[in-house]
Amino acid sequence: MATIEECRAALDTLSDNMQNAEGDVREAAALDRSVSCHITDLDVTFAGRLVDGRIRVDDTFPGPPRDKAQIRLSLAGDDLLALVDGELNFAKAWGSGRVKLEAGLRDLFRLRKLL
């Protein structure tokens, strides 16, 4: 089972990947939105902002998200690590319910380029 530290490092890697992306992916990441990532098996939430193509984690706290972020991700820690490492296909994981992504309709259309 992934640790909180490993999940935080995976979010940092994802942020770096988004920052270094080009074309449509870079454009899709150029949102300014509040974000939360709930790691279900650890029952911990990372909260922050997606800004300038980077994920900035401002807070980590136990339990589910305290506020409704504009972009909400919920998954197990091992699945987060596998997604970031390219070992888990996001579309399949989302379709099967292993990963939950919630956002406004416009944001979902933009985010699909990232995923």
d(CA 34, CA 1): 27
Q: HSE on the CB side for 108, CA within 13 Å?
A: 10
Q: How many CB atoms lie within 10 A of CB 6?
A: 16
pLDDT given at position 56 = 94
Residue of 41, 35, 42, 40 whose CA lies nearest to 14: 35
Tell me what percent of the residues of the chain surpass a pLDDT of 70.
93
Range name among 13-17, 38-42, 74-78, 110-114 with the lowest pLDDT average: 110-114
Contact indicator for 3, 77 with CB cutoff of 8 Å: yes
pLDDT at position 92, please?
A: 92
Q: Higher pLDDT residue, 73 or 21?
A: 73
Tell me the CA end-to-end span of the chain in Å, nearest whole number: 24
More confident residue, 56 or 19: 56
Helix or strand or coil: residue 52? coil
Angle of helix 77-84 relative to helix 4-19, nearest 10 degrees? 30
pLDDT bucket at 40, cuts 50 / 70 / 90:
very high
What residue has token string 């984690």? 57
What would the mean pLDDT of 50-61 be, rounded to a whole number? Answer: 92
Name which residue leads in pLDDT, 25 or 20.
20
Region 56-62: what's the mean pLDDT? 96
- The 3-state DSSP class for residue 2 equals coil
